[in-house]
Each structure stands twice: as structure tokens, then as C-alpha cells.
Amino acid sequence: ISYFIKEDLINQSSSKKRGPDGVNKLRISKKTLNHAEKMIKGALTELYKGLNYLKTYRNLNMLAFMKILKKFDKVTGKQILPIYLKVVENSYFNSSDKVINLSDEVEELFIKNFAGENRRKAMKYLKPHHRKESHSVTFFIGLFTGCFVALLAGYIIVAHLTGMYKRHTENTFYMETAYPVLSMFGLLFLHLFLYGCNIFMWRKARINYSFIFELGSKNELKFRDVFLICTASMSVIAGVMFVHLLLLAKGYSFGQVQAIPGLLLLVFFLILICPLNIFYKSSRYRFISVTRNIVFSPLYKVVMLDFFMADQLCSQVPMLRNLEYIVCYYITGSYTTQDYGYCMRVEYYRDLAYAVSFLPYYWRAMQCARRWFDEGETSHLVNLGKYVSAMLAAGTKLAYEKERSIGWLCLVVAMSSIATVYQLYWDFVKDWGLFQHNSNNPWLRNQLMLRQKSIYYFSMVLNLVLRLAWLQTVVHSSFEHVDYRVTGLFLAALEVIRRGHWNFYRLENEHLNNAGKFRAVKTVPLPFREVDEED
């Protein structure tokens, strides 16, 4: 197949490119050939997978027929199994070998054209082995969880004894430089931990998240893998920040230990881009490619995983602002001069910090515009309006932070209220598919993946309450003498929790739409072990 495709491309190019002497000039780019070969390779893999599904379907039907007849014979005392089974076994459905022959032909084509006559190499693509879940992963999850809890408890005790989180000028430097690092990683891995919980619940509810996200066996993370990443990372982070705080408590100057948080961030960045096949390389590189698609929106075609990830970033604005400040603080060398206010005094860096508050909403709006351009559905433009309202609300909040006047306060309340109502409507009606008046389930949808209807009502109320966290901007409540940054971290964590809660129902609705519109063509893994032929 790949030979004929190459010949066809060469012939097309030959007919269009001729030199002055009439000799054909072949100008086939290597990129075009590689793209064509990749498409054929993927098509053969999907065909082979589909043929295996068809063989499994036939075997399961035969097994079910046998069990039904056995049960019938047992209840009635009759012996009809040999009679009917003989007819079914001789039927075309069971005796035809076309599927087996087609599978053999696909194997031969793949081995010849894409594996260099190496059968073992070909079968790695055609029949990829899923990673087996090991008990050692569960052990290390427990181990790192214990380490994290112990280190975090030690960190909190030392912070309380030294008074680092109290609101007075002596500890301003620590709260401005070291605390944003801990806050940023805390929000990031809290979000990742909730994603692991989502995977666990999606599997329990038999929601085919792998098909929806188009995840392959190589870059699909199991919920135990996600929990292992979270616990191991947070143990390292808590340990490093605990050592950093201990050094400060023992009298070391900020200048002597200030590079420690920056080095921690650098290590995690190097692990993310590490080209070695360690630390879930395929998943890391898939994350990087999705991030690239989001940043350069609307240049790339938008798929489910892209706009789902962009939605997660909309709930991580505080984390992104902390990241921007930390990068600025260390790149500009402010940590050597201990000038933590430099990045907020320079106009360029200050404007960049404000731009970070708008970027997630801008990226998401551009994705909506690209989807409208590709698909032509006006609902994408309506969705774009939701993110525009969120940008306007964020803009008024930033303006109110600069000038705390009654006029700006009223504008903040008005714009935030409009954006909140807009977002709640979209959450309940569009993303979750709820609030259907003609449904058999009052104010829900006809099909539900969870048996308890009360969970959906509770989730709607919880989503409403967490959506109103912006009222803190107006009330300015504080917890006694705790620094306002700790309060901000608490509110940011509530938004991350709301997003993790939103994720489950968003994919549940997507799964039901796929099944209802016959888009879910890949099978859902069965929740039980397949019966062997001997049984």
C-alpha cells in the first residue's frame, strides 16, 4: 500500500513538474511521504483492531448462546443443547473464516511495508500490550502519602513557630518569594489529584474517557499513576520547602538560601522536557503538545482534549500568576539583590502579570472561534461570549485592585454577576446536559450514569456555591491575623475543586452524546475477566 501511495505521489508530481528538456523533475517532500505513510499505518492498525473486535463479538455470542441453552436444559430437564448447538456451529456466522483471513492479510501487509519483515516489531503496533497495574505502585502511593503528611505537618509547625504567615512586615519577604512557589505547586498537584479521582469515577461509571480524549495505550495514565505522581511530587516539594524554612529559622540569610525554590522549579521543568524514556515520557510529551495547541490557538484544529485542557487553565489563573512572578523574579536576578518588588515596579513585567489573568479565557475564546470556523455551529459563538464576559469580569477586578472606589466596586459586582449567571447556565444546560424540562427525571436528563439522582441536585448546588467565590473580592474577609495570600490560596483551591467536580459531569454528558449519536465506535473495556475457552 505504501509503495502504491508513493508511486501515485511521484506520478502526480511528474505530470506537473517538467524541465525545459522534457525530463521529469520529481519534487516530493519527505514530509509528505512520511505523513502518507503514517496515515496508512494508522488505518491498518485500526482495521486490525476492528477485525479483532469482530472475532471477539462472534466468540461472545457463541458463549452466550451456549450458556443460555445450558440454563434452559438445567431448568426444564431437556437435552436440546446438542441439537441447537450443532445448527449454530455450522452456521455461516460461526464457520466463516473471512475475518481470520483478513486479519492475516493485514498482518502480512504491515510486516512487509512497515516492520521490515520483523513480525515481533509489527505486533507491537498491531497488538500493543497494556501496562499492567503493579502492587508496588500502590505501595509507593502509601509511602509517599505518609512522607507528604509528615513533612507538611513539620512545615506548618515551623511556620507557626516562626510566625511566617502572620500579617506583619518582618516576614513579607518570605511571603513574596518562597510562598508563591509552594502555592503554585499546591494548586497544580491538587488539580492533578482531582483528575486521578475523575479517572477512578469515570471507570466506575463506565465512561469511556480514553475514547473521548483519544488517548493511546502509551500515553494513557491510570488513576494509580496519577496518584503516584501527585504524592511523590508533593513529598519532594514539601521536603524542599521544609528544609528551606528550617534554614531560615536557624538564622541563615535570605540571600544564602533564596535559590532553593528556584532550583526546585527548574528541576520540575527539566523533568517535563526530559527526552529520556523515564517518568511517563509519552504522557509528558502529549501534555506539551496539547499546551502548544492551546498557546497557539486558533492556529491548530481544536479537539476534545485541547479545549478540555484549556478549561482547566481557566481555573488556574492564580497558579499562572504565581508562575509568571516566580519566573520573572529569578530570570531578572532579583533574588540576588532580594528586590522582590522589582517585577511589579517595572511596567513591562507588571503588564505581563495582568495579561496572564486574561490568557486562559483568551485561548478558550479563540478555540471557540476556530470551532465555529471549522464546524459552522453558532453555539460556539455563544460559548465564546461566555469567555468574553469572564475577561470583562477579570478586567474590572484588576481595575478595582488598583483603585478601590465605589464606582469600580459596583462595576465588579455587575460584571461578575453577569459572567456567573452566564457560566452557570452553560455548566448546567450545555456542559452537563441538565435542566431539561421534558425529561423523565425532573430538571435532569433522560439518561444518567449515576443511580442516585440526589447526587446531581447536590452537585448543581455545590457548583453554584463555588462559583460565587468571587464575592471574596467584595467582602474582603480575612482569618484573624493570617496573611491575605493564604486566604487567596484557599479560594483558589475552592475553584480547582469546583473544576475537578465539573469534569466528571462534563465527560459524562460527552459520553452519552457519543453513544446517542453513534460516535462511540470503540468498545468500552468490560468490567469482568473474559472467560477462557476451556471454561
Cα(first)–Cα(last) distance of the chain, in Å? 41
**Per-residue pLDDT tens over the stretch 251-286:** 787 777 888 988 999 999 999 999 998 889 999 999
**Per-residue pLDDT tens over the stretch 32-87:** 778 788 888 888 888 888 888 888 888 888 889 889 988 988 888 888 888 888 88
Report phi then psi at 224, rounded to 5: -70, -35
Q: Which of 25-34, 98-107, 403-412, 508-517 has the lowest mean pLDDT?
A: 25-34
**Per-residue pLDDT tens over the stretch 230-248:** 999 999 999 999 999 898 8
CB contact at 8 A, 423 and 411: no
The average confidence (pLDDT) of the chain is 84
Strand partners, 482: 166
Q: Of the ranges 348-352, 354-358, 492-496, which is most confident?
A: 492-496
C-alpha 233, offset from chain centre? 18
Report phi then psi at 23, rounded to 5: -85, 135
CB contact at 8 A, 171 and 159: no
Which pLDDT score is estimated for 525?
A: 46
Question: Angle of helix 119-126 relative to helix 30-76, nearest 10 degrees?
Answer: 70
**Per-residue pLDDT tens over the stretch 147-178:** 999 999 999 998 888 877 766 556 677 888 88
* Confidence grade of residue 336 (pLDDT, cut at 50, 70, 90): confident
Could you give the 3-state DSSP secondary structure of residue 87? Answer: helix
Which pLDDT score is estimated for 533?
A: 39
Q: Which of 45-49, 294-298, 326-330, 526-530 has the lowest mean pLDDT?
A: 526-530
Could you give the 3-state DSSP secondary structure of residue 445? Answer: coil
Percent above pLDDT 70 for the chain: 86
In this predicted structure, the answer to whether residue 386 has a pLDDT above a threshold of 70 is yes
Q: Which of 145, 178, 184, 180 is nearest to 162 (CA)?
A: 178
CB contact at 8 A, 432 and 509: yes
Which pLDDT score is estimated for 534?
A: 39
**Per-residue pLDDT tens over the stretch 416-465:** 899 999 999 999 999 999 988 888 888 898 889 898 999 999 999 999 99
Which pLDDT score is estimated for 160?
A: 83
CB contact at 8 A, 287 and 358: no
Percent above pLDDT 90 for the chain: 36
Which pLDDT score is estimated for 197?
A: 96
* Confidence grade of residue 528 (pLDDT, cut at 50, 70, 90): very low
**Per-residue pLDDT tens over the stretch 172-208:** 778 888 888 989 999 999 999 999 999 999 999 989 8
**What's the CA gap between 233 and 325, in Å, rounded?**
21
Nearest 10 degrees: CA dihedral of 230, 236, 237, 238? 100
For residues 29 and 312, which has the higher predicted lDDT (pLDDT)?
Answer: 312
Q: Please name the residues in contact with 37: beta carbons below 8 A apart, sequence gap of 6 or more.
A: 2, 5, 114
Which pLDDT score is estimated for 117?
A: 84
Which pLDDT score is estimated for 131?
A: 63
**DSSP label at residue 439:** -
Q: Which of 472, 328, 300 is nearest to 401 (CA)?
A: 472
Q: Which of 52-61, 151-160, 216-225, 309-318 has the lowest mean pLDDT?
A: 216-225
* Confidence grade of residue 142 (pLDDT, cut at 50, 70, 90): very high
Residue count (the chain): 535
Other beta carbons less than 10 A from residue 247's beta carbon: 15
Amino acid at 296: F
Q: Locate all alpha helices (DSSP H) within 274-346, ordered by sequence.
A: 281-295, 304-314, 317-331, 334-337, 342-345
**Per-residue pLDDT tens over the stretch 490-522:** 889 999 999 999 999 999 999 888 765 545 444
**DSSP label at residue 163:** T
CB contact at 8 A, 114 and 99: no
* Average pLDDT score over residue span 116-135: 78
* Average pLDDT score over residue span 16-40: 64
All three cell numbers of 67: 450458556
* Confidence grade of residue 529 (pLDDT, cut at 50, 70, 90): very low
CB contact at 8 A, 148 and 236: no
- Give how far Cα 122 sits from Cα of 1, 18, 114, Å: 16, 39, 7
